[in-house]
Amino acid sequence: MKAIRIERNGGPEVMALSETPTPEVGPGQVRVRHRAIGVNFIDVYHRTGLYKTPLPSGLGLEAAGVVEAVGANVTRFKQGDRIAYASGPIGAYAETYVVNEAQAVALPAAISFDIAAASLLKGMTARFLLRKTFRVERGHVVVIHAAAGGVGQIAVQWAKHLGATVIAVVGSDAKAALAKELGADHTIINGRDDIAKRVREISGGAHVVYDSVGKDTFDASLDSLRPLGMMVSFGNASGPPAAIAPSALAQRGSLFLTRPTLFDYIATVEQLDETAADLFDVTAQRAVKIAPPARYPLADAAQAHRDLEARKTTGSLVLAP
């Protein structure tokens, strides 16, 4: 089968389409024939080496497809089932992949493979951020960075559905218009506007900031919070934020700071099913609409990474095997 492999860390050029053996299923595992593969910013961190992985390696954590082989003792799925998964081991940029059945979820009939691969990892991320890390409720002022991106588009709509006032931070006027269409109440342009000043003018300070940009926005995000507010640093699109002293939280009003990852919130099969069910529910209600993803052939995965890193994309990207 064909799969994207990397021999070393580096730019998109290290990604190569290779012929690799089709993996065998072990006990408790299923092999998925991929129909659509999710592209996530974490794949860039794995490629560059910001997040260390043993090399050589595949890439990718997320895909949707059909179960084509079932190992011993599998109880959740049978051959022919439509399923999706959104956690490691790394290697989803491939025609097929083997996952533990406890990592996969059944796809409702209404959800296409493209939409599943566009939304499972990103949507479950939006869900744990808004429902678990900080429980967003009616009246909360919520700042969402990279609001026109994959996670961002889902988070903006979901936060509005929960009754929050949403302040969307984006990289361009075109992305600001998109965030408004998705329901954002206010928009701020990263790199042009003074983010903290604008958030304070609009709201007097946010209850929670969801910052996936990292290095470039971390301080502005902290300065955007009202006393007792929560800083949720959940990504590094511009590079990892610098270390901070605990006293920096005290000085700004006894702030909370967390650095969560999805995988701790879907660590058990019960947590995974609950999280995915909540996502499928808000999409079925049309409270959250998943835009059709930009589609790249698997062989062009490097181009998908270039576009994502160059901030050229909005919404989600998928690879077609």
Backbone torsions φ then ψ of 254, nearest 5 degrees: 50, 50
Decide: is 53 part of the binding site for ligand NDP (CB under 6 A): no
- Name the residue with tokens 């808000």: 282
Q: At what angle do helices 150-161 and 173-181 cross, to 10 degrees?
A: 40
Decide the pairing of beta strands 57-58 and 15-19.
unpaired
148 part of the interface to ligand NDP, by CB under 6 A? yes
Q: Does 238 bind ligand NDP (CB under 6 A)?
A: yes
Nearer to ligand NDP, 25 or 218 (CB): 218
Sort strands 96-100 and 62-70 into parallel, antiparallel or unpaired: unpaired
For residue 206, state whether it binds ligand NDP (rule: CB under 6 A): no
Binding-site member from 237, 301, 302, 318 for ligand NDP (CB under 6 A): 237
Asked if residue 262 binds ligand NDP (CB under 6 A), the reply is: yes
- Binding of residue 152 to ligand NDP (CB under 6 A): yes
Asked whether position 261 contacts ligand NDP by CB under 6 A, the answer is: yes
Interface residue with ligand NDP among 143, 146, 162, 290 (CB under 6 A) is 146
Among 4, 102, 120, 170, binds ligand NDP (CB under 6 A): 170
The one-letter amino acid at 189: I
Q: How many CB atoms lie within 10 A of CB 83?
A: 22
Give the Cα separation of 311 and 307 in Å (integer): 6
Amino acid identity at 233: S
Contacting ligand NDP (CB under 6 A), which of 140, 175, 186, 207? 175
Please say which residue, 48 or 57, places its beta carbon nearer to ligand NDP: 48
* Bridge partner residues of 270 (DSSP): none
Structure tokens given for 154: 């889902």
Q: Is 235 in the site for ligand NDP (CB under 6 A)?
A: yes
Looking up tokens 């903006």 gives: 156
The residues binding ligand NDP (CB under 6 A) are 40-42, 122, 125, 146, 148-152, 170-171, 175, 190, 212-213, 216, 234-238, 260-262, 308-309, 311, 313
